A = this chain, B = another copy of it.
């Protein structure tokens, strides 16, 4: 029994490449292709109303004209929660990955994976797995450990320099003046000076307080 899939990819040459690859595998049957989220959602409803089978797995690009693959997934899952979604994209940044998973995708692959890998990922997904590459898995785990950390979240009020933030991070990791100095190839005197300045800016007077502030403010 072959797995019925749909493909959402706006790049024509990539779409062609996928189709050609899947043609070699009789375990995969491509029901239809779309070049946008809107198009996909319409075609899906057609499949549904006209009694044609639904795709079991959807390969979804993230960057699409019109609504994004993430929002498309959100809409898809709202109406057809049993259809599995695998993101296929070039993005490796945590935010996009996590947004995809939150929107309802269960797999996340990069576009340049070999066809064999993609096919077995589709099978895994259908069997209830969550296929992804090692690197992506690591990023997901990283984002579990460090939740809700946005970029450039250094407290504007404190006006810390890059170097200062760098030193704060090492301090939070439990470093002493000397160990931090060694890591940064600078003198412990310099580390001391930086920390003194940080204390002034953040109005704390000890490492312990700084660690607490840093964690709470999300500087780390």
Contact = CB atoms under 8 A, between A and B. Distances in A.
Interface of A: 78-79, 81, 98, 101-102, 104, 106, 124, 127-132, 134-135, 137-138, 140-141, 144-145, 171-174, 176, 204-212, 215-216
Contacts of A216: 215
Given A106-B138, A138-B106, A174 B127 contact: no
A134 B141 contact: no
B208 A141 contact: no
A130 to B, nearest CB: 4
Nearest to A204: B174
Contacts of A208: 171-172, 174, 207-208, 210-211
A129 B140 contact: no
A98 B129 CA distance: 17
